Structure 1
Amino acid sequence: MCRHILNAQVSIRSPCCRQWFDCAQCHADTQDHQLKQTMEMAFACKKCKKCFRKDMNEFEDSDEFCPHCDNHFVIEAKEPQARLEVEGDDVRKDARMIKDERVKEKEQLTIWDDEGDASRLG
Structure 2
Amino acid sequence: MCKHVLNAQVAIRSHCCKKWFDCAECHAEKEDHPLMKKAEMIFACKKCKKVFRKDGTDWDESDEYCPYCDNHFVIDALTPKAELRVEMEDPRIDNRALKDERVAGEGEKILFSLHDQQASKLG
TM-score by length of 1: 0.76
> Taking structure 1 as reference, are residues 71 and 92 closer, same or farther at Cα in structure 2, changes over 3 Å only?
same
Unpaired segments of 5 or more residues in structure 2?
104-123
Query: Counterpart in 2 of 1:106?
Result: none
Kindly report the root-mean-square deviation, in angstroms, between the aligned alpha carbons of the 2 structures.
Answer: 1.9
User: 1:79: how far off?
Assistant: 0.6
Query: Counterpart in 2 of 1:49?
Result: 49
User: 1:91: how far off?
Assistant: 2.5
Within 5 Å, give how 1:27-106 maps onto structure 2.
Answer: 27-88=27-88, 91-98=91-98, 101=101
Q: Which amino acid aligns with 1:47?
A: K
User: 1:97: how far off?
Assistant: 3.9
Q: Which amino acid aligns with 1:56?
A: G
Q: Which amino acid aligns with 1:44?
A: A
Q: Which amino acid aligns with 1:86?
A: V
Structure 1 segments of 4 or more deviating over 6 A?
Answer: none
User: 1:99: how far off?
Assistant: 5.8
Matched, 1:2 2:2: yes
Unpaired segments of 5 or more residues in structure 1?
104-122
Q: Which amino acid aligns with 1:78?
A: L
> Taking structure 1 as reference, are residues 95 and 27 closer, same or farther at Cα in structure 2, changes over 3 Å only?
same
User: 1:101: how far off?
Assistant: 2.3
Name the CA distance, whole Å, in 1 between partners of 2:21 and 2:4: 11
Name the CA distance, whole Å, in 1 between partners of 2:35 and 2:52: 20
Deviation by residue 1:9-59 (Cα, 9 ceiling, x = unmatched): 000000001100000000000000000010000000000000000000111
User: 1:66: how far off?
Assistant: 0.1
Identity of aligned residues (%): 63
Aligned residues: 103
* SS of equivalent residue, structure 1 residue 52: strand
User: 1:87: how far off?
Assistant: 4.0
Name the CA distance, whole Å, in 2 between partners of 1:72 and 1:89: 37
